[in-house]
Structure 1
């Protein structure tokens, strides 16, 4: 099949992503109608009030041109050593671990490589197409088959989890979010139907045995022929369903009258590792895979529209319904209800059936991250990655068992099946006391036995979570992606990537830094002001009393991202002349001393996306330092810092995905083992 037979992808995006990435990653969501048409409050309105109050405070400016919009609470002990203006730690050991080591921040660049801080190096652990299962064939880009891909490492790896087996070995678990057929297939080697079937097999997840390399902190693949754990999950793998919506009529189809056995997982983005040793994965932009051979059921059109699904007859750009009838809304109108969940995989048991958890709600899940509250209840934090959608949390009905018995592990693996699902509302702090930017409340949507949304049953709230949340007045956010609790200070950090339509489709305010941003079209080019929240921000939340099960919290803007020279940016109160520029935060992670690590997606400052370390407490709070950058066209995913703080794992997603690229006209060849790019997992460590 020639790439010319695929949908024509051209034009300049309103953001910095290529048109190709927008089309394949999310079905070009930002150019579609905004799904949330409710009159609920917007975060821009809340922030505007906070900024107006801060502007009245005397002596509140921090750094050149700063607006003070972050919390000014008394600080705890520093999580990182004090650094000089170059990012070098004063008096620290050169051989320190990644949480405390000094490093020279990576300069903005456009190199076709993973560029780490000078004190570190990296190696590639596994690439698209590498064998995973024991009988997987060697990768041959000219002779790809669905059967081979189902046993090989999938495409566009995203979330990274590493679960120790012993001191030398571990299991790497990763998502495979989406495919890019332009870059994957040489012209004329495959027909259209085969390409679609290979793409179905290239989605999903992978479990791969890895082992420590010869350098401290390095990791390599174990022999796939000898590992009993290695496993691929694809769009055809069977899942069971847990929680109150399992078996409900809304999940039943002609192909599955039980409503409890679902084939496949799609568009898996971020995730999380549970305290009981399983991995959670969020199904995100599932809507783009469905089309309709006839006009969809009018009764379902409002729900389809709220989730960005097709509401008229026609093929999607992927046209998967031509090889798998499940993706035809006219034939199987309830099949979309079976996607958009958080799934749980037990990597330790290769024979286990993965689970879709209905109790965590159905929306465009970026991921789910779990912590155990002081009272033993399990709490999961989640973001719905769409312009104008919401932040959620779940609190389990039952409590966690810390012992390692098989019975306790079975008990813990059921914790996400019963509890209460909440959505967040944010309010500005009218006291202008300079301590917090505001307060918030977690609004209950449903428990496993009782709906708190008038007119909707428990199952309806869980299947149509967006519609249920619209009814209770939460706050519209700018693409809430990863939302994670910090294991050291207990606060919650949410990456809000951007919203280029803030100020047009969403309420705007000229004084609001989220509605006007400074960006660069190319590295070294001038800063240009454009409408919208182009660079994103990081939100910090503190549950009242430090209790993760509390229903009230305080919040502040920890980072307003962008170039430090731009007046709207803010870096936790740190001197803006000494930080790295950062744009479009996506995934977050923490090291053992509590530093926040941020990966970016769609950076709008001319440089490639990257990974950044930033302390959240002490005198270094807000000192953003760039640890690495990724190749041409790529996004930084993961990340994960191992418990021993010797290794930093990243997933390099969609290298070479630039407008005009094709298999014969690649813009990247990273990781430079072939004449074409291969999305891969890499690990950085001290050189």
Structure 2
């Protein structure tokens, strides 16, 4: 979900973007928008009226709730201006404090963070990881003052994490170990002190999951020949999780890790021709990224396959003697129990393999299937839904519900309706489509390892980088950010932007139950600030975005039970510093919206060169946790463009969680 993936010609941190790997000619969402709405409806501000009509009025009247916080008439704070301070800015009456920055010791020998960057790889395994992202608060005994804070660590900035940046090849092995240990997940027990400030506890609950952690493979792809490696010849185990972006949670109290842009960590064997689709369709072939930890990038010559496995050469007699299939062990959703420090994470293959931006649960109902949504964060990729085959009952776990279900992919129709297309090898329609397609599959494991190809074959709608989603906890209405697609070449009467560089948010209602296979959709808001080109527009209200709410590249989302939709941005460097043709948006930010009225206000602006990502509230809604990722991501060793959170001149920038409270002790946002 990084800004570096938005602009093909702009690389902010040395990482090379994943190229579009979708060869299908499926209808693009832009084409559907053109057919869906007329120019007159857009320009007269009546687009939203038409949308409410075809959705049966549910967007304007979402139903009631017994919660006293639910569906207030307006947001209870004054919008803050955009800006470029190297600090967190929140509205008057709120306080924001940095908490648990990268390098904070949380377990083991509690090695102190070294400002000079000299911490070792072993130190990093016992410290907070780098590049905080998706986050969730698990209350202990229902408490809003005591719980587990669990968060993803998406990637690392080599120019910041090491004392003087990465060494020249051959790199010391411990540099690579440090980078791998900075990935993954942190679990931290926290409690609000008597002074009202949160503190970390060290009672044996804290944990780090990294690129080394052993994991179990479950679901239909368990045992598949496509997942066989020298580490696990029977394809039941693997090691590590990478590039963990948005996160999710389950009704039975576990945490879900997403694996997003994992493809660039591998260096494929260039002699393989043709490249297998399970590599090529995910850009493992030819995406010469700089995060793999193999001999090609790191200059590492080692017999330790913890490192050499990222060089995916076919060196053995078969896949059980090498790591040609190692990339197939990534791209999954991973579940673990945060309350059990010894629990083995499980890669849930029934939920599909792609660049998972996150995973979004629908509130569970006893006697009904569990439903989760996930976006594939790459240009021209798809939105997916997983529906369990079993109905949810108290006491069930992921072993009951996440290994046996149906994965669907979305097709958005011109008339505002949509279909969920089953990616099920035994489905009659799947078999019918396959009989007419050059794309073939041999089993459900094959379908799931090659989820993108299966979605191509079924005729899913390519989207503009589907990222985070959020579900209205009362109505089950779903919102999804489409961050941008700067490579999209189109101009149509209903959406007259030559390039979708500023993104938009789509929403839909399932036709009946969340497990339904049809839905109705519209657009909630277009990002941007240029009225002439309708870049920033709220269709449901007929109004444009203003100084108090313009934004671009929407990314993170949370729909809380106060009725507020929290929107976070991941704008490129050019959009932040004003050099982009899209306009000057200032630093990345978080906004609050009440979708029923279209009210949107800017609530937070982050420090220099950061991404604002990940948001969760305590049950009483009086504490908000958000993450600030890669502040100063245009830094060079010793020349940092941000010094947040310390604010000390020359200090190394550190990704960090931020704790936000209301000075009067009230509910956040109201």
Task: Indicate the SS of the match to 1:638.
Answer: strand
**C-alpha deviation, 1:413, in angstroms:** 4.4
Q: Which one of the candidate residues 546, 551, 570 is aligned to 1:601?
A: 570
Instruction: State the alpha-carbon separation in 2 of the partners of residues 19 and 189 from structure 1.
Output: 17
**What residue number does 1:8 align with?**
none
- 2:667 is aligned to none
* Cα distance in 2 for residues equivalent to 1:316 and 1:441: 35
* Alpha carbons of structure 1 residues 448 and 169: separation in structure 2 relative to 1, 3 Å: farther
Query: Secondary structure of 1:232's partner?
Result: strand
Q: What is the correspondence of 1:166-185 to structure 2 with a 5 Å cutoff?
A: 166=141, 167=143, 168-185=145-162
Whole-Å separation in 2 of the counterparts to 1:35 and 1:581: 31
Q: What runs of 5+ residues in structure 1 fail to find an aligned partner? A: 1-11, 81-92, 403-407, 430-437, 517-530
1:17–1:351: structure 2 CA closer, same or farther, 3 Å change rule?
farther
Q: Deviations over 1:488-537 (max 9, x none)?
A: 2210111110000110xxxx234353x62xxxxxxxxxxxxxx4101111
After TM superposition, give the deviation of residue 304 of structure 1 in Å.
1.9
How far residue 682 of structure 1 moved from its aligned partner, in angstroms, is 0.7
Please tell me whether residue 310 in structure 1 is matched to residue 278 in structure 2. no
Give CA deviations for 1:413-445 in whole Å, capped at 9, x if unaligned: 43110011100000121xxxxxxxx00000001
> Is the CA contact 1:178–1:203 (under 8 Å) kept in the aligned structure 2?
yes
- The root-mean-square deviation of aligned C-alpha atoms, in Å, is 2.8
SS of equivalent to 2:424: strand
1:501 equivalent to 2:487? Answer yes
User: 1:320 aligns to what?
Assistant: 293
Task: Tell me which residue corresponds to 2:138.
Answer: 163
Decide which of 615, 621, 624 is 2:594's aligned counterpart.
615
What's the counterpart of residue 526 of structure 1?
none
Structure 2: how far apart are the matches of 1:535 and 1:188? 32
Aligned partner (choices 201, 221, 236) of residue 200 of structure 2:
221
Paired residue for 1:333? 324
> How far, CA to CA, are the matches of 2:393 and 2:82 in structure 1?
46
Say whether the 8 Å CA contact 2:421–2:458 is kept in structure 1. Answer: yes
Is contact 1:451-1:458 (8 Å) kept?
Answer: no
What TM-score does the superposition give when structure 2 sets the normalisation length?
A: 0.85
Q: What are the ranges of 5 or more consecutive residues in structure 2 without an aligned counterpart?
A: 301-306, 315-322, 435-439, 576-583, 664-670
* Offset of residue 329 of structure 1: 1.7
Residue 602 of structure 2: aligned partner: 626
Correspondence 1:252 to 2:198: no
Name the counterpart of 2:444.
458
- Name which of 82, 94, 106 aligns with 2:80: 106
Higher mean C-alpha displacement, 140-149 vs 390-399 = 140-149
Distance in 1 (CA, whole Å) between partners of 2:528 and 2:626 is: 22
Q: What's 1:19 paired with?
A: 11
CA distance in 2, matches of 1:351, 1:98: 43
Task: Map 1:178-217 to 2 at 5 A.
Answer: 178-187=155-164, 191-214=171-194
Please say if residues 401 and 412 of structure 1, whose CA atoms lie closer than 8 Å, have aligned partners that are also in contact: no
Give the SS at the match of 1:460. Answer: helix
Contact 2:258–2:332, Cα closer than 8 Å, also in 1:
yes
Following TM superposition, the consecutive aligned residue runs of length 4 or more in structure 1 with deviations greater than 6 angstroms are 66-69, 77-80, 95-100, 447-451
Distance 1:151 1:98 in 2: 43
2:506–2:522 contact (8 Å) kept in structure 1: yes
**Bigger Cα displacement from structure 2, 281-290 vs 447-456:** 447-456
* Contact residue 564 and residue 580 of structure 1 kept, 8 A: no
How far off is 1:310 after superposition? 2.3
Q: Does 1:382 align with 2:382?
A: no
Matches of 1:149 and 1:210 in 2, distance apart? 20
CA distance in 2 between counterparts of 1:501 and 1:487 reads 35
Partner of 2:356: 365
Q: CA deviation at 1:483?
A: 2.2
**SS at structure 2 position matched to 1:178:** coil
Q: 1:142: how far off?
A: 3.8
Give a deviation string over 1:600-636, Cα, whole Å, max 9, x none.
Answer: 101633311111110122xxx2211111011101001
CA–CA separation in structure 2 for the residues paired with 1:563 and 1:467: 36
Match of 2:340 in 1: 349
Aligned residue number for residue 682 of structure 1: 658
Give secondary structure in 2 for the equivalent of 1:423: strand
Kept after mapping to 2: 8 A contact 1:384/1:480: yes
SS of residue paired to 1:562: coil
- Displacement, 1:565? 3.4
Pick aligned residue for 2:424 from 446, 455, 473:
446
Q: How many Å apart are 1:130 and its aligned residue?
A: 0.4
**1:177–1:268 contact (8 Å) kept in structure 2:** yes
Match of 1:433 in 2: none
Name the counterpart of 1:665. Answer: 639
How many residue pairs were aligned? 606
For residues 237 and 120 of structure 1, do their structure 2 counterparts lie closer, same or farther at Cα, with a shift above 3 Å needed? same
The residue number in structure 2 matching 1:561 is: 527
- Structure 1: distance between partners of 2:456 and 2:62: 41
Asked whether the equivalents of residues 45 and 539 of structure 2 are also in contact (C-alpha less than 8 Å), the reply is: no
TM-score, with length taken from structure 1: 0.83
- The 3-state SS of whatever aligns with 2:246 is strand
Deviation at 1:319, TM superposition (A): 4.5
Give the distance between the partners of 1:373 and 1:447, measured in 2 at CA.
28
Aligned residue among 243, 250, 259 for 1:283 = 259
Cα deviation 1:296-338 (Å, max 9, x = unaligned): 43254443221011249xx742341124111112142211000
Deviations 1:258-300 (A, max 9, x none): 21111000000001111111111110000000113x4243254
Which of the numbers 229, 234, 237 marks the counterpart of 2:210? 234
Q: Does 1:395 align with 2:379?
A: no
Report what 1:137 is aligned to. Answer: 111
Q: CA deviation at 1:219?
A: 2.7
